[in-house]
């Protein structure tokens, strides 16, 4: 579209051209018919250009008027703009809420394992003075080392189904003309129901607003509590719903109980008992063990074994770096042993490789927050943070594990 200046220049040029036509004759009567038609055509063009110039000039005037009004408003009543606020890093809970896994998750209503706290956390118990100091948890975070020994898989079912194999190896040499031996295989259908592990924490909206790090802190602490409970169930869960059947509670697992006095003094009876457990995994489970899991107290009892000269039987090499016993790496867990009321102190097994067991996750850790967890919470401005996951344990070959009692 031509500008106002271009239209005006075009009109001036056509006016000059029309003037040249009139200047070419002395009298109007001398104009030829062609010249008259040309003059008529050019007059129409000038009229059209005049209309275009008038219309565009009106638009320019309107635009200029609006700009003046906007300038005046800007000077007298500036438009309010929200100040830019630095976005805080998203907490673990916020990340879960925005994840695809959360959006696609549908809870089928399985029974929960409650693990709750009823005390609402407010600004009166977490003050501005304490937020700038390091928070030391009453229970230090447990790294959940036992869970790391077993590989994880996922399921989209509420129950995980698998077969446990039993077999008899009848392979033998065969004489010519004699009958060939036959192996025997049996399969037992096993189900591992998915259970939910969960805990919640009521917390005031004021605390989350006033203390920037509060939600991330409590997200992490609640997740840690759920994982501690999961590790305990993984090891010694009693199988009464909604508990899972723990690794050491499966029929067919090798079991040894250490008896004081069964070995001569200074003969390393506890260490020899662990060696027997390794042998049972190899003979009965037909797999090579890859780790020895034990309570901290059981580990101390083993490394404290001395010979007749009061020399430590394991020696310094077994205690340097990653602890080992009989050549196998040692993993310590506080979720077994006398400290938690069990006689199971040591577990030897072929944990890795998915040959003997698997963690089965229906859904991994999810952290969420709600305004309506309990009646009246919305009006009181009380929020509830929830940490949960859904899990089953599949033990394919119980004979690939040995539990040892009373080592402590």
Task: For residue range 79-138, list pLDDT tens digits in order.
Answer: 434 444 445 555 444 454 454 443 443 333 322 223 333 456 665 555 544 444 455 555
Return the exposure string of 357-378: e unless at least 16 CB atoms fall within 10 Å of the residue's CB, then b: bbbbbbbebbbbbeeebeeebe
The mean predicted confidence, pLDDT, of the chain is 79
Q: In what order do the strands lie in the sheet with 357-370?
A: 112-113, 195-204, 382-395, 357-370, 152-154
Average pLDDT over residues 281-290: 95
The answer to whether residue 227 scores a pLDDT higher than 60 is yes
Taking CA atoms, 228 is separated from 115, 150, 271, 336, in Å, by 11, 16, 28, 12
pLDDT at 112: 29
Using 50, 70 and 90 to split pLDDT, how confident is the model at 139?
Answer: low
CATH number for 108-127+144-168+184-405: choose from 3.20.20.70, 3.30.1370.100, 3.30.2400.10, 3.40.50.300: 3.30.2400.10
Average pLDDT over residues 34-62: 77
Instruction: Give the residue from 322, 263, 301 showing the smallest Cα distance to 407.
Output: 301
Candidate from 189-193, 239-243, 376-380 with smallest mean pLDDT: 376-380
* Alpha carbon distance 238, 154 (integer Å): 23
Q: Is the pLDDT of residue 187 over 80?
A: yes
- Measure the CA dihedral 295/299/301/305, to 10°: 160
Query: Higher confidence at residue 207 or residue 346?
Result: 346
| Average pLDDT, integer, range 275-281 | 97
The pLDDT value given to residue 372: 77
Between 206 and 247, residue with greater pLDDT: 247
296-303 helix and 269-284 helix, angle to the nearest 10 degrees: 120
Q: Domain extents for the chain?
A: 108-127+144-168+184-405
Other residues' Cβ atoms within 10 Å of the Cβ of residue 81: 6
Report the candidate in 325, 344, 355, 334 with the shortest Cα–Cα distance to residue 402: 344
- What's the pLDDT at 92? 47
Closest listed residue to residue 400, CA positions, set 252, 265, 189, 298: 252
Alpha carbons 394 and 192: distance in angstroms, whole number? 6
- How many other C-beta atoms can be found within 10 angstroms of the C-beta atom of residue 255? 14
The pLDDT assigned to 262 comes to: 79
Q: In this predicted model, which residue has the larger pLDDT, 381 or 318? A: 381
Average pLDDT over residues 9-29: 71
Res 160 pLDDT > 60: yes
Poorest-confidence range of 87-96, 159-168, 359-368?
87-96
What pLDDT score was predicted for residue 317?
A: 62
184 pLDDT above the threshold of 90: yes
Q: How far apart are CA 10 and CA 26, in angstroms?
A: 27
> Bigger pLDDT: 170 or 59?
170
């Amino acid at each position: 579209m031509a500008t106002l200046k271009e239209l005006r220049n075009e009109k001036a040029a056509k006016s000059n051209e029309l003037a040249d036509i009139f200047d070419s004759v002395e009298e109007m009567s001398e104009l030829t018919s062609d010249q008259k038609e040309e003059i008529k055509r050019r007059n129409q063009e000038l009229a059209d250009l005049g209309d275009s110039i008038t219309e565009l000039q009106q638009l320019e005037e309107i635009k200029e008027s609006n700009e003046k009004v906007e300038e005046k408003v800007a000077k007298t009543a500036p438009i309010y703009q929200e100040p830019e606020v630095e976005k805080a890093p998203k907490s673990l809970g916020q990340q879960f809420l925005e994840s695809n896994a959360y959006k696609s998750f549908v809870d089928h209503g399985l029974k929960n394992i409650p693990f709750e706290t009823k005390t609402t956390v407010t600004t009166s118990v977490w003050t501005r003075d304490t937020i700038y100091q390091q928070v030391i948890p009453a229970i230090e975070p447990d790294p959940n080392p036992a869970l790391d020994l077993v590989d994880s898989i996922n399921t989209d079912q509420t129950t995980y189904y698998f077969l446990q194999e039993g077999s008899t190896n009848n392979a033998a040499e065969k004489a010519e003309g004699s009958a060939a031996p036959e192996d025997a295989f049996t399969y037992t259908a096993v189900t591992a129901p998915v259970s939910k592990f969960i805990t919640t924490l009521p917390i005031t909206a004021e605390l989350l607003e006033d203390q920037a790090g509060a939600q991330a802190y409590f997200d992490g602490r609640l997740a840690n509590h759920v994982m501690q409970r999961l590790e305990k169930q993984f090891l010694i869960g009693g199988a009464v719903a909604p508990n899972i059947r723990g690794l050491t509670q499966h029929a067919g697992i090798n079991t040894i109980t250490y008896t004081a006095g069964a070995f001569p003094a200074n003969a390393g009876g506890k260490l020899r008992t662990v060696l027997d457990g390794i042998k049972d995994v190899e003979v009965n489970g037909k797999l090579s063990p890859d780790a020895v899991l034990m309570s901290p107290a059981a580990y101390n009892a083993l490394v404290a074994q001395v010979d007749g000269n009061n020399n430590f039987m394991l020696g310094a090499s077994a205690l340097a770096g990653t602890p080992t016993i009989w050549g196998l790496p040692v993993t310590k867990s506080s979720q077994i042993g006398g400290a938690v009321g069990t006689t199971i102190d040591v577990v030897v097994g072929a944990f890795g490789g998915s040959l003997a067991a698997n963690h089965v996750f229906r859904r991994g850790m999810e952290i969420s927050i709600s305004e309506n967890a309990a009646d009246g919470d919305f009006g009181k401005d009380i929020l509830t943070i929830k940490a949960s996951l859904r899990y089953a344990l599949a033990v394919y070959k119980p004979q690939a594990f040995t539990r040892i009692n009373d080592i402590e």
